[in-house]
Structure 1
């Protein structure tokens, strides 16, 4: 017998990430969900026109010393902010130490999140995600805006710098040797 994945009716009574994760295990479904203070937020899969961005970034990451040491840049992996918030960045940086913690059953939050702005995201959505990432200990967030061919590098929820065209962006201090001219990513 083959199990069929269905889109379950989303519960409204869950308050913690533990309750949400238990619900997800009990209700197989398609797609991913973020969980933020009792709200279950559908996380659409990466669109085909965003794949080239993720592919470029991962290919640049494998050239870094962080990759050589065993760190990873993974697509759409869970990032736990606290007991009531779980986000899923488009790309998540995970250190060797964090991978070991995950093997021990611990939950980790990314130190460096990369988000690709989608048409369905509002400015409020962006602000909420930024706040959540930094509340969990994230040190750097890149928000990529494909339509404008820009990357906004946030070092806090309120501090950012925009990069475009020939400007070289760096993931310092998290991954200092991950750097490139923005125009190369959109070529």
Structure 2
């Protein structure tokens, strides 16, 4: 299968929600070495931050559709993972410490219990490495470069499965490595936890259902 970048170039319809603009969201002017303590002490101003190449990056806020899809999938994963004690599910407020010093925050993360042996409660700081399952729900401002860079870091730091969800176009790209998507899921398909979240399955259509009150 073509790479993410090639897919956009050769078939624009496959990735219309990722622009190829200026790259990441707004880089803040601070030039400093960001310690865990300094990052944790950032004010709770409603913004989502990451540290990328030593810079504090304001990732911006997401819209209603993004939040709705995240909420649906988060609830489904929580409802499956917790009763079976497979590990922990973490939301986008959680930053993970990469080997290169970056702090990344997937929209949804699953950390398997095998990687949490010997601890009885999660640290107040960051977990080392990337989650076993990393989920990114795209917003209009995301870029090909940004998503590719995240995938590279995720898989270099322990991720085994990644789902890149395109809520506007209603499809999901499944990755087993950062090089290229393993397969594409549409509304007629089911999302599978594979060997990472064993037994988990969710109809893709459930994430893209219209509102019905």
Structure 1 ranges of 4+ moved more than 4 A: none
Q: Distance in 2 between matches of 1:33 and 1:105?
A: 15
Unaligned runs of 5+ in 1: 1-8
Decide which of 116, 119, 132 is 1:98's aligned counterpart. Answer: 116
For residues 31-110 of structure 1, the aligned pairs below 5 Å read 31-64=47-80, 66-68=81-83, 69=85, 71-76=87-92, 77-96=94-113, 97-98=115-116, 100=119, 102-103=122-123, 107-108=127-128, 109-110=130-131
CA 1:170 to 1:83, structure 2 compared with 1: closer, same or farther past 3 Å? same
Q: Does 1:174 align with 2:189?
A: no
Aligned length: 174
CA drift of 1:22 comes to 3.1
| Structure of higher RCO (CA pairs closer than 8 Å, 6+ residues apart) | 2
CA 1:167 to 1:21, structure 2 compared with 1: closer, same or farther past 3 Å? same
CA 1:36 to 1:70, structure 2 compared with 1: closer, same or farther past 3 Å? same
TM-score (norm 2): 0.72
Report the equivalent of 2:3.
Answer: none
Report the equivalent of 1:112.
Answer: 133
Report the equivalent of 1:24.
Answer: 39
TM-score (norm 1): 0.81
SS in structure 2 of the partner of residue 177 of structure 1 = coil
CA drift of 1:133 comes to 0.6
- How much is the aligned-residue C-alpha RMSD, in angstroms? 2.4
Residues 193, 199 of structure 2: 8 Å contact kept = yes
Q: Does 1:13 align with 2:32?
A: yes
Q: Distance in 2 between matches of 1:60 and 1:81?
A: 27
Residues 43, 88 of structure 1: 8 Å contact kept = no
Residues 91, 113 of structure 1: 8 Å contact kept = yes
Q: Distance in 2 between matches of 1:53 and 1:105?
A: 27
Q: Distance in 2 between matches of 1:112 and 1:94?
A: 7
Decide which structure has greater strand share.
Answer: 1
